[in-house]
Chains A and B, each alone.
Chain A
Amino acid sequence: MKNAAANPDLSKFLVIGALLFIIGVAGVLTRRNIIVIFMSIELILNAANLNFIAFSRYLSTTGSANALAGQIFTVFVIVVAAAEAAIGLGIVIALYRNKETIWVDEIDLLKW
């Protein structure tokens, strides 16, 4: 039996992806600065990409024909992340022009 630490397998990739995802979720839930919240969302998307690529590699070694689908999907996830970052930061700029603040708990006009 090979040593699990000296020969990392698919499960180690998935664990790193899961930890990055959870760090991103913690960032979205706890930070007050809206731009840091956006950066935590990028961490979440990156963790998903890592999962896709790890599975693509695993499937290519076990000989499945769908092995490239992971990498194709990653390209589209990067495209969507870029579009979402552009629109989100445009919204942040428009918000800053109107309210002069970047702290999310000060943006409470619609609260009861």
Chain B
Amino acid sequence: MTLSGYEALFFWIFGLAAIFAGLLTVMARNAVHSALFLISSLVSVAALFILSRAEFIAGVQILVYVGGVMVLFLFVIMLVNVGAEERGSEEIFNNQRQVAASLIFCLLLVGGMLYAINTGFNGMKARNSTPPAVVEAQEASRDQAHGASATGSSRITKDTESVGGSLYRYASLPFEIASVLLLVAIIGSVMLARTLKQEASVDDVDPGIAD
């Protein structure tokens, strides 16, 4: 799976951009700035998805996550947060002992995760040892087998076709459950955001309709 050449360059650019934007999300004073940094981080992760040959998931991430969820966040920030910025003097972090404790915990987590990733990855490499030349040859033959795009400069991959086939054949039950989950979320969020007047008038019916 080793990337090389331009793919490696773009991997480092988008990987570091994702981490940097994530860090700024957590550290920004203004909530709108945090939302915009999160959007940059999500778009960088979508680029990393494209580098991993998951183009459909990258498109889903940009359409649904950035275009739906983050726009919803921005709407709610505008509804709820506008007064806080005008004051500008509120403390944005918890008190010092809590921040220190969570930073120590996160440093321990960093050490533990890096150690676990290195040990696990070396063990996995020792077990599946196909020589890299064979893997590259297989990759190249698979890439050449795809049809050419309209401009002729790249190939059209079969990622969307494979994901769609798997979703509708093997994962059809989770797919239907996910749609029920979304229906429940829609009903729940409409109910949660009602004003008192709307809740009180829920039983009001036009006198000409009932009885």
Contacts and interface: CB of A to CB of B under 8 A. Distances in A.
Interface of A: 2, 5-16, 18-27, 29-33, 35-36, 38-40, 42-43, 46, 49-50, 53-54, 56-58, 60-63, 68-69, 71-72, 74-76, 78-87, 89-94, 96-97, 102-103, 105
Contact of B69 (A10, A11, A40, A85): A85
Given A21-B113, A46-B42, 17 more contacts: A11-B118, A20-B18, A20-B41, A31-B92, A32-B92, A35-B73, A36-B31, A40-B26, A43-B41, A68-B162, A71-B57, A72-B163, A76-B178, A78-B60, A79-B178, A83-B181, A86-B72
Size category, B interface: 35 or more
Interface in B170-202: 170-171, 174, 178, 181-182, 184-186, 188-189, 191-193, 195
Interface of B: 1-4, 8, 11-12, 15, 18-19, 22-23, 25-26, 28, 31, 34-35, 38, 41-42, 45, 48-49, 52-54, 56-57, 60-61, 64-65, 68-69, 72-73, 76-77, 79-81, 84, 90-94, 98-99, 102-103, 105-106, 109-110, 113-114, 117-118, 121, 128, 130, 132, 135, 138-139, 159, 162-163, 166-167, 170-171, 174, 178, 181-182, 184-186, 188-189, 191-193, 195
Nearest to B53: A57
